[in-house]
Amino acid sequence: MKQRTIAETVSCIGTGLHSGQPVQLTLRPAPVDTGVVFTRTDRAHHTLIRMSPSAVQSTRRSTTLGYGEVTVSTVEHLCSALFGLGIDNVRADVDGPELPIMDGSAAPFVYLLRSAGLVKQSAARRVLRIRRPLEIREGDRSIRIEPARAFRVKYAVEFDHPAIGRQVFRVDAPDKEHFERELSAARTFGFLREVQSLRKAGFARGGSLANTVVLDEKQVVNAEGLRWPDEFVRHKVLDLYGDLAVLGLPIQARIKVERGGHALHHRLVEAIVDHPEAWSIEDPDSREPRGLDFLPAPAPA
């Protein structure tokens, strides 16, 4: 298993989900052990933000990464695509504070990355292997990670809404094709009754039926309907992939989630960081013990 990057530079233009502002995203190849680095090209000196657990500044309605006062938000769908396709090293240049929402799923980013081409690099992929369970409970919400021979997920959601109810999705044989086929096109969703309050709070100003599955009190409002009957839980799994991506490594573990979301996902990431005795990093090239902060800081732009 070798590290991967993209073969060519690719770009897209879209609208920020929460800001409602136009934004351009450019993805560039990056050397071995770079990880994922976001560059705010609209800021002086092109401020760099390396994706890592310590860079997570907010999980309210989306995942926001930052360095000092400079942030980039709604990164989870791109990060999910990188995690699902097994891409380790890439530089993401963005000319605003938020990534484009595209159609509300990871599929446009998968298309962009596939268009760029995926290439293997000289160094082996390091793997985060969970060696003992960690669990977080918040009332009827919970997330647990435990040892397993491969990456496995069981995710459950439950909403008091006739179009959702209880949905459960399992990932038992994950690979790039499974992610593209079963998860990448699952869209973000929201409730019509929340739109006014969200916009007053500064969220969802770029939200529309083109990038969000919207529900009224009884049904899905979007004329085209759902892509899967259980699209809601599939999108939660997609978000989980993107939130776990901040660890910077593929994961060997089984994860069980009940009624999760960005905040609960990142509480698990924090627990992993805080409990180094619960995991190890396997490095086929050196076999040296390493922590989650081993990647070198990116060079200045």
Write the burial class of residue 221 (CB in 10 Å: 0-12 exposed, 13-18 middle, 19+ buried): middle
Start-to-end CA distance of the chain, whole Å, equals: 29
Asked if residues 72 and 94 have their Cβ atoms less than 8 Å apart, the reply is yes
Q: Write out the CATH class of domain 128-282.
A: alpha beta
Catalytic residue among 262, 265, 266, 275: 262
Helix (H, G, I), strand (E, B) or coil at 298: coil
Asked if residues 167 and 230 have their Cβ atoms less than 8 Å apart, the reply is yes
**Residue 126 carries which DSSP code?**
P
The closest alpha carbon to 263, from 178, 103, 141, belongs to 141
pLDDT, position 295: 47
Domain 2-125: what homologous superfamily?
Answer: lpxc deacetylase, domain 1 (3.30.230.20)
18: annotated active-site residue = no
Asked if residues 86 and 176 have their Cβ atoms less than 8 Å apart, the reply is yes
Mean pLDDT by 10 residues, the chain (301 residues): 96 90 96 96 87 93 90 95 98 95 97 98 96 97 97 97 97 90 96 82 80 95 97 98 96 97 96 96 72 48 42
Domain ranges across the chain: 2-125, 128-282
Query: What size, in residues, is the chain?
Result: 301
Structure tokens given for 248: 């910077």
The closest alpha carbon to 153, from 241, 273, 61, belongs to 241
| Same fold across 2-125 and 128-282 | no
pLDDT, position 174: 75
